[in-house]
Structure 1
């Protein structure tokens, strides 16, 4: 359980997330993920990082139960900062990051894959931001990197999800494969990237980030301010309480 790192192939580092039952990450989990991705990218032997997850789905966002059982705003602030660090770690990783997505990718999961360099998904993968239904806001910055603007807004306002195949048609998913082929498909792409010169691939990552039209760190931080405003108004607690009550047997949820 937790975040682990492996090196199955030369030049490739695999960072795996495992927080049962649904990969809804606690505050510390986001920081662990950020640290693992940053460390992998800083390793001069690594030329590509693969981000994977164990269990029912890739990521269900933040652990809402942790927020609800913590007095005051400490868990909310910790979650905001932890998500910010994890998303930034993926974006700022010195080498390309390939996200291997299966099952659900919700809330914070969108922040991770939206900042990744490439996405390989299984046929059962779904992507979405249920933030409004959870009393939160955020990660529209990252959803906008996966779908066109008007679709992003519609998905955000409705809390609907889209399939891996739909994202493939929009060009944001590289390949869609059967679930049992996901790991190998992600590794195949990672090996192709890792075959490049280590210095050149790092320069390429820095150059591509440098020409991005949107500063994803600043944009996401701006969104987070509205999440805190929603909490101060009291509306967030009502939605989180209702969500926790309806999912008490499963634990966690999207942020």
Structure 2
């Protein structure tokens, strides 16, 4: 049985981490996540993705028991590369990915959430990278993404102390977009996903591509990409439909072409 289930709710693909008791990110979970994204990538009926965890936690970290089976440093680095590759794929995915976080997003769990485009955390959630408690460091690009989201001073403090922060503080530092009531995180994520799914898949795809350029930090290249996409979405069916709908004061009928 897969440790990651894919279900659909209308135009939304829901990925459920189902690896009890804490949804630890083992090699198998990473491989199952990758397989599910393969399915989503080729399914035009899915326009937005929501990731959440079954049980008490979103994901409380990597699978520490699995670490005891790793034979040497090279194999450990290979495990790191596998997680980094998947989370970068999620970050650069052409369909928006929302993390609905509850309970805890620690270690690899937070690194997965940081790879998503939007994060919603329930009140009472703890978020952090506590790897130094084990004499290790984050290995799924946490040292790279956390400073970009919360700033270098706070990221350095969080990683050196291993102390998690609350959902409310995570909003204040820019780590998550908003806080949901306990038990309501998935509902809020799905509501947000539905709003996004109403948009044209053509313009969303181009926007996601432009945002990827912005993430890389080359402003001139980003502007070049933006103006190219600007022209392409204008000539698309949905671009023309959106303009007509605005002039005619009606809701556009997008067909994702």
Fold match by TM threshold 0.5: yes
Q: Is it true that 1:211 corresponds to 2:214 in the alignment?
A: yes
- Hey, what does 1:61 align to over in structure 2? 61
3-state SS of paired residue (1:105)? strand
- Hey, what does 1:106 align to over in structure 2? 106
3-state SS of paired residue (1:146)? helix
Q: Is it true that 1:183 corresponds to 2:170 in the alignment?
A: no
3-state SS of paired residue (2:183)? helix
Deviation at 1:77, TM superposition (A): 4.0
Deviations 1:17-42 (A, max 9, x none): 11111111221211211221343144
- Hey, what does 1:160 align to over in structure 2? 163
3-state SS of paired residue (2:215)? coil
Aligned residues: 214
Q: Is the 8 A contact 2:62 2:109 kept in 1?
A: no
- Residue ranges of structure 1 left out of the alignment (5+ in a row): 216-255
Deviation at 1:174, TM superposition (A): 2.2
Q: Distance in 2 between matches of 1:147 and 1:214?
A: 17
- Of residues 161, 170, 186, the one that matches 2:173 is 170
Q: Is it true that 1:134 corresponds to 2:134 in the alignment?
A: yes
Deviation at 1:158, TM superposition (A): 0.8
- Hey, what does 2:116 align to over in structure 1? 116
Query: Which of these two proteins has the greater Rg computed from alpha carbons?
Result: 2
TM-score, normalised relative to structure 1? 0.78
Deviation at 1:154, TM superposition (A): 0.8
Deviation at 1:104, TM superposition (A): 0.9
Distance 1:195 1:78, change over 3 A: same
Q: Distance in 1 between matches of 2:217 and 2:68?
A: 33
3-state SS of paired residue (2:8)? strand
| RMSD (CA atoms) | 1.9
Q: Distance in 1 between matches of 2:38 and 2:88?
A: 9
Deviation at 1:187, TM superposition (A): 0.3
Distance 1:199 1:76, change over 3 A: same
Q: Distance in 2 between matches of 1:214 and 1:25?
A: 30
Deviations 1:159-196 (A, max 9, x none): 11111111112334222112221111010110011110
3-state SS of paired residue (1:60)? coil
Deviation at 1:207, TM superposition (A): 0.8
3-state SS of paired residue (1:211)? helix
Q: Identify which range, 136-145 or 151-160, moves more after superposition.
A: 136-145
- Hey, what does 2:236 align to over in structure 1? none
